[in-house]
Amino acid sequence: MSSLRRILILSCVLCAALFFAGCAKPRNVVQLVPDPDGHVGVVQVTTKGGVAELSKAGCAVRVANGKSAPTPPEDLTDAESEALFGQARRALPTAPVRFVLYFETDGAKLTPESQTLLPQVLATAKQRQSKDIAVVGHASRLGDENFNIELSRKRAEFVSRMLIKEGIAKESLEITSHGSKNPLVVSQRLNEPKNRRVEVTVR
């Protein structure tokens, strides 16, 4: 779930007891951290005793048990956050990297700008030694939907062939096509350029 990226929950009471040795009872700690893209959400920590809301990166609350109210939000120092959550944070999977490659009208030819982006896609896949790369083709609303599905498939296959040619294992690729059903931009233009695309997600 997305909360894995937004909050880190210390479930090991022993670790909390060691860190907060001066507390009468060990407390669980919930800290809000940004998403990989820097976005900060809002998290509510609810117990039978009350509710506390976290909306600022780095803020945390402490909970003694399920009956007690969470403490008021407070800023954790970098040292506190590292001591409590450093190991858990490093154990989280690396966030996926997403690329969007755009195409010329009615074909499987990349725009010049997207052509220059391909080396970055390859470098990311090789650096991560990725075995899970999604290649999803899309089309604008111009034309019959059966044609658009076929066109988006050709676009996805074109990008996949380029990746395979440069050493990416075929088994690492998951190729799908959506036709015009998932537009990147909702537009009155049937031939919206930003919907003629392939999205590559490197995990």
**What tens digit of pLDDT does each residue of 162-171 get?**
999 999 999 9
* Range with lowest mean pLDDT among 60-74, 114-128, 143-157: 60-74
CB atoms within 10 A of CB 49: 13
**Distance from C-alpha of 92 to C-alpha of 114, rounded to nearest angstrom:** 31
Report, as an integer, the average pLDDT of 110-124: 96
Q: Name residues whose C-beta falls within 8 Å of residue 153's C-beta, 6 or more positions apart in sequence.
A: 137, 175, 177
Q: How far is CA 100 from the centre of its chain?
A: 15
Residue 65, pLDDT score: 83
Residues of the chain with CATH 3.30.1330.60: 97-202
d(CA 122, CA 101): 13
Q: Which residues contact 51 (CB under 8 A, 6 or more apart)?
A: 44, 45, 69, 70
Residue 144: count other Cβ atoms within 10 Å of its Cβ: 10
pLDDT band at residue 144 under the 50/70/90 scheme = very high
CA-nearest of 48, 43, 47 to 60 is 43
97-202 classified as CATH 3.30.1330.60: yes
The backbone torsions φ and ψ at residue 84, rounded to the nearest 5 degrees and listed phi first, read -85, -45
Say if CB 103 and CB 158 are below 8 A apart: no
pLDDT band at 23; cut points 50, 70, 90: very low
Reduce the DSSP state of residue 99 to 3 states and report it.
strand
Residue 7: pLDDT band by 50, 70, 90 thresholds?
very low
Does position 39 have pLDDT exceeding 50, yes or no? yes
- E strand map for 20-139: 28-32, 43-47, 50-54, 59-63, 74-75, 97-102, 133-137
Spell out the residues 6+ positions from residue 135 whose beta carbon is closer than 8 angstroms to its own: 156, 159, 160, 163, 173, 174, 175, 176, 198, 199, 200
pLDDT at 124: 96
